[in-house]
Amino acid sequence: MTVEIPDNLARSLHAAGADISRRVLETLALEEYKCGRLTEAELREALGFETRYELDGFLKRHEVWLDYGEEDLARERASLERLGL
């Protein structure tokens, strides 16, 4: 895939020391995740993170928070209770 970036933007990104290919990949993948078209697992794989911890750090740096509601909390509490915790 080829993405055309205006020369002035490419120069600016390059001067800032940015890896343009990586920035484009991260931006596209993050947007697809936020729109619900990529799962967490797919996002982690696309960005080459080996652990969930790395993905969590990436999401936090981009101020993307996990969708965690009361149902999720209830499910986790029930799991912990089943384990005797």
- Is 60 a domain residue? yes
Amino acid symbol at 49: F
pLDDT digits (tens, 9 = 90+) for 7-30: 898 888 778 777 888 988 999 999
Averaged pLDDT of the chain? 89
For the entire predicted model, the pTM comes to 0.70
Tokens describing residue 53: 């911890």
Q: Return the structure tokens found at 1.
A: 């895939």
How does pLDDT run across 43-58, given as a tens digit for each residue? 999 999 999 899 999 9
Cα 67 vs. chain centroid, distance in angstroms?
A: 13
Our count of domains for the chain comes to: 1
- Tell whether 1 is covered by a domain: no
Q: Structural domain of residue 25, as residue ranges?
A: 7-82
- Which pLDDT does position 27 carry in this prediction? 93
